[in-house]
Amino acid sequence: MSEQPTGVQSTIASDARAKIGSASEDSRATRQGQQDPLAVPVLGWAESLTRLGHQSLYESMVAELAEYLREAPATVEAACAAGAEAVAEDWKARQLRKESPPNEVVEFYRTTKSYLFDLTNSIRNTRTRRP
């Protein structure tokens, strides 16, 4: 013997059917080329990290690093361009080698300013421009 739904159960079932029907209509409208006015564009990782007012992640990172270091963005950008060479020079100056103890290598990367520039420069050639 099947039980008849109560008033509350009937209302819940009716609401659920309405939502499913509405979702199906939304899906059909989207497939037919109509845009959902409430749709939000999905940003990629680079766009998500780019600060407002900047056209690329690299430009944004240079500005943020300049702010952090209290240096002019042009100075930071020049240091970024020379980042890899500066890291190599700092590595040699500390007389580190591949076989150096891990704690010395960690300390090098933790305290070497040129590494910040090299990391920032590494993002330069990725496709990260805002649309």
What is the predicted pLDDT for the residue at 13? 53
* Statement: residue 3 has pLDDT above 90: no
* Domain edges within the chain: 1-40, 45-122
Q: For 56, phi and psi rounded to 5 degrees?
A: -145, 160
More confident residue, 51 or 84: 84
Sign of the CA dihedral with 100 first, then 83, 48, and 67 last: positive
47-56 pLDDT, tens digit per residue, is: 777 777 888 8
Tell me if the pTM is above 0.75: no
- Tell me the average pLDDT across 123-130: 64
Please, what sign has the CA dihedral across residues 85, 75, 60, 131?
Answer: negative
Tell me the pLDDT tens digit for each residue of 20-79: 555 555 555 555 556 666 677 777 777 777 777 888 888 889 999 999 999 999 999 999
Query: Mean pLDDT for the chain?
Result: 78
Angle, helix 73-81 to helix 57-69, in steps of 10 degrees: 110
